[in-house]
Amino acid sequence: MLRILLINDTAKKVGRLKTALNEAGFEVIDESGLTVDLPARVAAVRPDVILIDSESPGRDMMEQVCLLSRDQPHPIVMFTDEHDPGVMRQAIQSGVSAYIVEGIHAQRLQPILDVAMARFESDQALRAQLNARDQQLAERKRIELAKGLLMKMRQCNEEDAYTLMRRQAMSKQQKLIQVAEQIISMHEMLGN
């Protein structure tokens, strides 16, 4: 059963989503959006999906969503009455997987949640690819920096420097990047 953290970001309509979700058979934990510390609640409750019901999502709510997507990415669905495309764009940029304007029907909830979760997964996969690419580049730069330092220290050519670093790493059961970092730290410590 899906565990849903429901944030009511509006004082007056409390309960409109909760009833529909309960009817559809979800486990719902609800919170008032006016007082919630979203990242802390997500860490404590560990929901599968976060639903935000908001008449018009405010700046504070968007900030909380941003923090959450950065540190603990989750599928987030926003139900709102806000038609303004600017607000919608801002919500998507903050990390909202689905933005639903008006009309909450119990029978529509499951497909909406399914789409939001699928969308979230594909975003995460893309993000993982991009992160891996950044990390590959960052590691290459550090390894090259260390190689350059070693070439100067040992008065050797590029290939010899790589071989020395790799032998050192392998005999200590480490990765090349670890040895590169050690060379860089040592160089910094010696004040060159």
Partner 1 sequence: MTDHQATPRPDALAWAAGSDAPEKNVLDLGFMALADSAPLIVAATQGFAQPYGLTLNLRRQASWAGLRDKLLSGQLDAAQMLYGQIYGIHLGLGSPATAMAILMGLNQNGQSINLSSALRGAGVTTGEALRQRTHQSGARLTFAHTFPTGTHAMWLYYWLASQGIHPLRDVHSVVVPPAQMVAHLRAGRIDGFCAGDPWGAHAVDENLGFTIATSQSIWPDHPEKVLGVTREFVEECPNSARALTMALLEASRFIDESVENRRSTAQLLSAAEFVNAPVSTLEPRFLGHYQDGLGHAWLDAHPLRFFADGAVNMPYLSDGIWFLTQFRRWGFLRDDPQYHELASQVHQLELYREAASALGIAVPQPMRRSILEDGKVWDGSDPVAYAHSFALHALAERQSLAL
- The Cα–Cα gap between 3 and 51 comes to 11
**Residue of the chain from 46, 70, 127, 167 that contacts partner 1 (CB under 8 A):** 167
Per-residue contact flags (x/-) with partner 1 for residues 109 to 148, judged by CB under 8 A? -------------------xx--xx-xxx-xxx-xxx-xx
Task: Give the contacts of 36 (CB within 8 A, at least 6 positions apart).
Answer: 7, 64
Task: Using CB under 8 A, pick the residue from 60, 81, 158, 188 that binds partner 1.
Answer: 158
170 binds partner 1 (CB under 8 A): yes
Query: Hey, what are 90's tokens?
Result: 């801002």
How far is 21 from 53, CA to CA, in rounded Å? 12
Tokens of 169: 């790493």
The distance of closest approach from Cβ of residue 150 to partner 1 in the complex, given in angstroms and rounded to an integer, is: 13
CB 45 within 8 A of CB 74: no
DSSP 107: H
Pick between residue 48 and residue 139 the one whose CB is nearest to partner 1: 139
**How far apart are CB 148 and partner 1 at their closest, in Å?**
6
CB of 46 to partner 1, least distance (A): 25
* Strand arrangement, sheet containing 76-80: 27-32, 3-8, 49-54, 76-80, 98-101
Q: Least distance (Å) from partner 1 to the CB of residue 170? A: 4
Rule CB under 8 A: which residues touch partner 1?
A: 128-129, 132-133, 135-137, 139-141, 143-145, 147-148, 158-159, 163, 166-167, 169-177
